[in-house]
Amino acid sequence: MDEVFARRDLIEPAVLRALCTRSDRAGLLQLGSHLAAVGVTGAGIAATLGTLWVVPVFVLHGVLINFLYAAQHETSHYTAFRSRWLNEAVGRAIGFFLLYPRDFDQIQHYAHHRHTQDWARDGELERPPFGRASYLLWLLGATYWTSRAGRIVRFAGGRVSEHYIPPARHGLVIREARWHVAGYALIAAGSVAAGSTAALLYWLAPMLLTKAAHQLQNTIEHLGMPHVGDVLRNTRSTRTGRAMRWLCWNMQYHTAHHAFPGVPFHRLPQLHARLFTDRGTAPPSMGYFAFQRAVLRALARGRSEADYPRDRAWIAESGARSESSARP
C-alpha cells in the first residue's frame, strides 16, 4: 500500500525506509501483552461471577476483545510482523474471533486507503449520511454487528454485491465466509453438547455489548472530515493517553498512518513527529469525548450529514461549525 498512497514529498526517502522496518519482536510483544490482558480479564470474570465486581471486569474484557481489531488491521497491512506467515495466521485467527473475515477486511481496507472519503468507492466509509438516530445505532454497535453478521451469512450463501470486491475475488470471500460459518456452527454445537455457556460469557456477550468503546476510535478517524483526496485533510488523529495508544496499537496517529500505510504501528509515533511535530504543525486532531459531543450537537434538531458541505470539515476542535455551517 505504501508505494501507492505515500506522500513522499513529506519525508526523506532514507528516513521513510528506516521507519518502514518491520519487527516480529515488536509485534509479538504488543500482541502478547494484549492477549495476556484478555486472559487476565477473562480470569477476572470467572473469579467475580455472582458479585457486582463482575460488571466492570466484564466491560473491560469486552473492550480488550474489540480492540484486537487493531492487530487485525496491522496484519492486513503486513506491518504487525516481519514474517508474512505471522501476519496471515494472526489476521485470520482474530478475524474469526471478531466476526470480520480477514480476506474480506483486507480487500475492503485497501479500497478505504485507495479512496478515502470518496463514498462511491471507499469500501469502509460508504453508507447513507448519518442522522442522529442512525449515528447512535452505529456508535452503540447495533447496526455494526447486524451488518457484519449479515454480510458473512450473505457471502456464505454465495451473494457478493460489494462493488469494491473484484469479481475474480468473489470466490475467495465466499469460501472464507463458509469456513467462518462452519466454525461458528461447530462452536455452537459443541457448547450445546457440553452444556457450556463459556463461549457466550467469555467471548460473544462481552464483545457484542461493549462495541461502543471501540466505535469511539472508528468514528473519530474520518467522520466530519472533507471529502477530498488529500490525506492531510480527510483523516483525523486522536489526542489521548498512553494506555489508549497501547490498546489501539498507536492507530490514534491516523493521519500519519494514511500518509504512509507501510510504516508499522510501533513506528507511528516517530513518523508523526517527523511529519508534524518537527515541523511545528499538527494534523486535524480531537479528543474522543470532545468529538462525540461535537457530532451529537451537529446532528441535533433533525440535521444529518447531508446538511453540511462535503468539501470542508464540519467537525473540528471548536465544534461542528468551525469550518462550515449547515445549509439553510
Of the chain, the percentage scoring pLDDT greater than 70 comes to 94
24-73 residue pLDDT tens? 999 999 999 999 999 999 999 999 999 999 999 999 999 999 999 999 99
287-320 residue pLDDT tens? 999 999 999 999 999 999 999 999 999 999 864 3
Four-point Cα dihedral 120, 121, 127, 131, nearest 10: -60
Q: What pLDDT does 97 receive?
A: 98
The yes-or-no verdict on residue 328 having pLDDT over 50 is no
Please give the Cα distance from 47 to 57 (Å, whole number).
Answer: 10
- Answer whether 30's CB lies under 8 Å from 266's CB: yes
- Asked whether residue 165 is assigned to any structural domain, the reply reads yes
Strand 285-286 relative to strand 237-238, pairing? parallel
Cell of 207: 464483545
Please give the Cα distance from 123 to 115 (Å, whole number).
Answer: 8
Please give the Cα distance from 205 to 85 (Å, whole number).
Answer: 31
The yes-or-no verdict on residue 104 having pLDDT over 70 is yes
Please give the Cα distance from 298 to 224 (Å, whole number).
Answer: 10
Number of domains forming the structure of the chain: 1
- Asked whether residue 314 is assigned to any structural domain, the reply reads no
Query: Which distant-in-sequence residues (6+ apart) come within 8 Å of 141 by Cβ?
Result: 208, 209, 210, 211, 212, 215
| Residue position matching grid coordinates 496484519 | 75
Please give the Cα distance from 259 to 147 (Å, whole number).
Answer: 29
Query: Which distant-in-sequence residues (6+ apart) come within 8 Å of 243 by Cβ?
Result: none
- Asked whether residue 38 is assigned to any structural domain, the reply reads yes
- Answer whether 278's CB lies under 8 Å from 284's CB: no
Q: What pLDDT does 200 receive?
A: 98
- pTM, to two decimals: 0.93
Q: What pLDDT does 10 receive?
A: 85
Q: What mean pLDDT comes out for the span 263-277?
A: 97
The yes-or-no verdict on residue 171 having pLDDT over 50 is yes
- Answer whether 100's CB lies under 8 Å from 76's CB: no
- For the chain, the C-alpha Rg in angstroms (whole number) is 20
- Asked whether residue 28 is assigned to any structural domain, the reply reads yes
- Asked whether residue 36 is assigned to any structural domain, the reply reads yes
| Residue position matching grid coordinates 513522499 | 8
- Asked whether residue 321 is assigned to any structural domain, the reply reads no
pLDDT band for 5, please (50, 70, 90 cuts).
Answer: low
pLDDT band for 8, please (50, 70, 90 cuts).
Answer: low
- Asked whether residue 218 is assigned to any structural domain, the reply reads yes
146-163 residue pLDDT tens? 999 999 999 999 999 999
Nearest residue to 210 via CA among 1, 13, 55: 55
Long-range contacts, stretch 3-6, CB < 8 angstroms, 24+ apart: 3/262, 4/113, 4/114, 5/113, 5/114, 5/231, 5/258, 5/259, 5/260, 5/261, 6/259, 6/260, 6/261, 6/262
Q: What are phi and psi of 238, to 5 degrees?
A: -125, 130
- Asked whether residue 325 is assigned to any structural domain, the reply reads no
Q: Is 51 left (phi over 0), alpha (psi -120 to 50) or beta?
A: beta
273-290 residue pLDDT tens? 999 999 999 999 999 999
pLDDT band for 255, please (50, 70, 90 cuts).
Answer: very high
| Residue position matching grid coordinates 467469555 | 202
Query: Which distant-in-sequence residues (6+ apart) come within 8 Å of 193 by Cβ?
Result: none
| Domain of residue 275, residue span | 2-307
